[in-house]
Structure 1
């Protein structure tokens, strides 16, 4: 009985604490500039008569999100003269973002498209840089048994930040004009700035690498020497494969829905609502479940569900135009997306060394984005040659290698993880 009460208390402590609130606030700050770039700016440009080709080219300036590992060693190596290594860099990036987002309002897309492209590029750079330091801070802030919950809350806050630029921001633009809308959106970066000023620093003085060479070489050297090159390569390969089937299944889902005969209205309402709600449920519930299951077992259970959920799209391909089946299939798929994502990110966080958190996590997050970059072209080619139903069978089969790697990467009964979790829970209870 005493053990049950202790476990319940530990679960409550793991969810209702200052660390979870911090994860929510920094997650919001991390997502806001990205959604400004991918949702707010395109409509702003289009409303001012910019052609679609030019708007499409603006996607190129988002490259910092993929290549952020290139300058992450600088943020690991150098400590700003204020607030510490993590909070100092957070404040620098956040102030840069609020200033740049405000300056963007002063330009006219019909006349200043080149200047706008430059500013948008800088926003993308500082946004990706903020992500580097926030990911590192979150890893250092959370004990291992809270990585799932903290990551889940952070992901949801990241997603919900989109309601500011692409929801309320559009309403403000309609009533007060685009300049006011720009300033309105930029003001919400104060959430991150205020949070940064009041939270505690997680990085201790002297933890940082003592040279640029050490900051660049040591994170890779430490990772590959930790358990040997073979283990390191297995971990990287697992990160690439764990969500491969999932990424393939969702890569061209909108054309798939259209080809099944669903209207734009049905896709925009039934599919969108089902996806949004299910992904939210998956990340939050998944994070909570991980407190008790641990990361290893969560990777197994969530991975199996993620793989099976692909079959919902197979069923939709066989049934065809059926609104109920559309809702069921998208709900299952994105519940799997949410569960699998929170487990993988928690695993990536655990796989970092706290001396090189920024560099190693930036490398991992860039690595897992590779499949999403290339599966679209491969998926389209496959669908054209074998059809949708067979394609989703292929997606299901492509999820199996990642699951099989769990026997080596994250054994179900890992004594090491059990020992770490028990130690962390005792520390939390104390």
Structure 2
């Protein structure tokens, strides 16, 4: 039976991940669809993925988030509040920029939002790792998946629907306001920094957990900085696990990046795409996250991940149906529901294992290294997916995505995580 204390933890995590994923899904789902409707080429839409490069490189500054903070506010709570307010502010600025007349300034602003989201991600995941006990991580990551799905509904599908009715400016102003309101549970949370202070002192010597100058010498700080990455990658089986994350993310993002433009080319409106991907799809992802957490609790990590990966690879084959001209509405809903549902259950499993492989001394860094590897795979295939689609068509893109998925399934089957 779940205790009241655990329910409070899950409620906080849900609000955190809703907040975190709203701007993320705006960048990855709503913006490409909006830009395609404005006439941008598939190649350009694919290259828009590079705006999210900070999300893939945030492991480079994750040790700074682990080491420095403001204990009076709560170490990671401090960073979450600061960066989410900055993201809301930048979103409000974007609302004042015209897509037609301020395109360069808009891209720069979105790049800044991407950097802020990347840093917020470090603090959010680190807080979750410290908050959840090992036996709570399966259900905790179900909550993460549900929160991410709700964030997708708001930031992705919801924004597309509002775009269609209110236009660019009012829609982004609404998103900024929602992000500020979503911070309320974080303000009420009291982070326990006592245990963390002891393990950090042990890890880094005379390090001071404040926004001030540390008494640790620059040479020691530099050595500990690089050793953090080296020691993590030397863990048994870690390189194999990172390769699995790379292939899974690359396969998923290559297909997901080109599916919304395909829907535009078929003739669906912004509102229709918003409902299909941002509401129906995200709801299926949330359901997948819940189912994944329950199964993970009963079956364990490895068995669940293997079964989930098989279902996910099978779901990717459905992308080929509309690519070959089968574009009836039931088929489009089948594609959205099956792919989002299996991504939901896969994310629950992978996120849980990523937490298991993260230490309490450097949770932000360890978890971020793993997520960065996956995002690098996503950016790599997502950014070239448009070029591939222009050369060999949507069919070729989805076929390559399926091939990578099959390889990752075989790796999961043969290796012990």
TM-score range, shorter chain: 0.7 to 0.9
SS of 2:409's equivalent in the other structure is helix
Unaligned runs of 5+ in 2: 208-215
1:94 matched to 2:84: yes
The residue number in structure 2 matching 1:18 is: 8
Bigger Rg over Cα: 1
Alpha-carbon distance in 2 for matches of 1:92, 1:189: 12
Alpha-carbon distance in 2 for matches of 1:146, 1:195: 20
Q: Give CA-to-partner distance per residue, 1:184-229, whole Å, 9 cap, x none.
A: 43333334533222223254213334453255223223213433xx
Is the Cα–Cα contact under 8 Å of residues 95 and 173 in structure 2 kept in the other structure? yes
1:356 matched to 2:348: no
Q: Give CA-to-partner distance per residue, 1:368-391, whole Å, 9 cap, x none.
A: 123322335369648966993x87
Cα pair distance change 1:402/1:201, threshold 3 Å: same
Is the Cα–Cα contact under 8 Å of residues 15 and 288 in structure 1 kept in the other structure? no
1:216-235 equivalences in 2 (<5 Å): 216-227=225-236, 231-235=237-241
1:198-209 equivalences in 2 (<5 Å): 198-203=188-193, 204-208=196-200, 209=204
The residue number in structure 1 matching 2:307 is: 301
In the TM superposition, what is the alpha-carbon distance from 1:62 to its structure 2 partner? 3.6
Alpha-carbon distance in 2 for matches of 1:60, 1:393: 23
In the TM superposition, what is the alpha-carbon distance from 1:75 to its structure 2 partner? 0.6
Cα pair distance change 1:341/1:179, threshold 3 Å: closer
Normalising by structure 1, what TM-score? 0.73
In the TM superposition, what is the alpha-carbon distance from 1:336 to its structure 2 partner? 1.8
Equivalent pairs, count: 391
Cα pair distance change 1:173/1:401, threshold 3 Å: closer
Cα pair distance change 1:106/1:294, threshold 3 Å: same
The residue number in structure 1 matching 2:222 is: 213
1:181-330 equivalences in 2 (<5 Å): 183-203=173-193, 204-208=196-200, 209=204, 210=207, 212-213=221-222, 215-227=224-236, 231-254=237-260, 262-264=266-268, 268=273, 271-272=276-277, 274-314=280-320, 320-330=326-336
Normalising by structure 2, what TM-score? 0.75
Is the Cα–Cα contact under 8 Å of residues 301 and 353 in structure 2 kept in the other structure? yes
1:18-417 equivalences in 2 (<5 Å): 18-35=8-25, 61-102=51-92, 119-162=109-152, 164=154, 167=158, 183-203=173-193, 204-208=196-200, 209=204, 210=207, 212-213=221-222, 215-227=224-236, 231-254=237-260, 262-264=266-268, 268=273, 271-272=276-277, 274-314=280-320, 320-376=326-382, 377=384, 381=388, 388=395, 395-407=401-413, 409-410=415-416
Cα pair distance change 1:400/1:321, threshold 3 Å: closer
In the TM superposition, what is the alpha-carbon distance from 1:296 to its structure 2 partner? 1.9
Is the Cα–Cα contact under 8 Å of residues 278 and 335 in structure 1 kept in the other structure? yes
Q: Give CA-to-partner distance per residue, 1:219-270, whole Å, 9 cap, x none.
A: 223213433xxx23222212223455444544433466688xx542597388
Q: Please identify, of 210-219 and 342-351, the stretch whose mean Cα deviation from structure 2 is larger.
A: 210-219
Q: Please identify, of 240-249 and 33-42, the stretch whose mean Cα deviation from structure 2 is larger.
A: 33-42
CA RMSD of aligned residues (A): 4.3
